Structure 1
Amino acid sequence: MNCVFCGFGDTRVVDSRIAEGGSAIRRRRECTKCGGRFTTYERAELDIVVVKKDGRREPYQKEKLLAGIMKACQKRPISYDTIVEMIDWIERRILSKGQLEVPSSFIGDLVMRKLKKLDEVAYIRFASVYRQFKDVASFEEELRKLTKKRVKNENKDSKQSKIQKHR
């Protein structure tokens, strides 16, 4: 592998270990010319085809998924590592289907499910693009559903804490 610093074509592996929950191998490399050290990752390639809503087919692109989630999470208190973990989880779900073609709606629904638990603002941002809200009313309806569910969960948590106090 070429050195990322000087471009020399001979590097050696200094350290190699399993990363990302077993889905990748992390390698520390050192250039034999300039001594520069850098990290590379080896991952299995997903040869999955994504079937779009209009029937078009295109190769799965992790970078495209990452860009969409990053945009939804922009200026939110969500770390890059958390987003990478989310994508790893989504990819495991895709692979667990055991199919070479996956509908884009399946991937979108997985993203929505994770974002809803992670950050409501990021969820709404992603939903506004993914669900293609036609007007403010449909946007408000999604907010109402989210707020209603949050209030329901808060009431449930409140009842459980009262029960625990009385024990």
Structure 2
Amino acid sequence: MAALARVSLPAVLATLRHGARTTPPRFAAARPATAAAKRMLGSVRCGGAEAAVPRSVPVRVAYELQQAGYRYLDVRTEGEFAGGHPVGAVNIPYMHKTGSGLTKNTHFLEKVLAIFGKEDEIIIGCQSGKRSLMAASELCSAGFIAVTDIAGGFSAWRENELPTNQ
């Protein structure tokens, strides 16, 4: 396995506050999330002038946020979710598998609103990070204010050996 980069949570959050996107670095060890970390991330929530621009965080930061109370929304298909998912994740597919590929779930927003409030702190993941970014953008446009995309998705989650069901 390649050497793991040591990146501190304050450094990642400082980068996010200044509007830069991050890629999912590998961390040597996860640090416990703190209320201060949640407050710092709060300044980069979607909403306001940049309404449809969610932030993406590395998978280890997403895990720390989940430990601090953020809820995990998994937007993969039911089949992908059944094959394994982060502990505590809620599955609402952003797309459905059809005979010709994937099609947008026309009830996605309605189903999210049935489970989450627009002020809930949500981290969103898919398999690699593409669908979750689309889903996060849609939720931001719909008025959700605390949406954070997980860069790298469930693939990075597994690669970092974070807790999963199955």
Q: Under TM normalisation by the shorter chain, which class is it?
A: under 0.3
TM-score, reference length from structure 2: 0.22
Q: Which has the higher contact order (CA 8 A, sep 6+)?
A: 2
**Which structure: greater helix fraction?**
1
Q: Give the greater-gyration-radius structure (CA).
A: 1
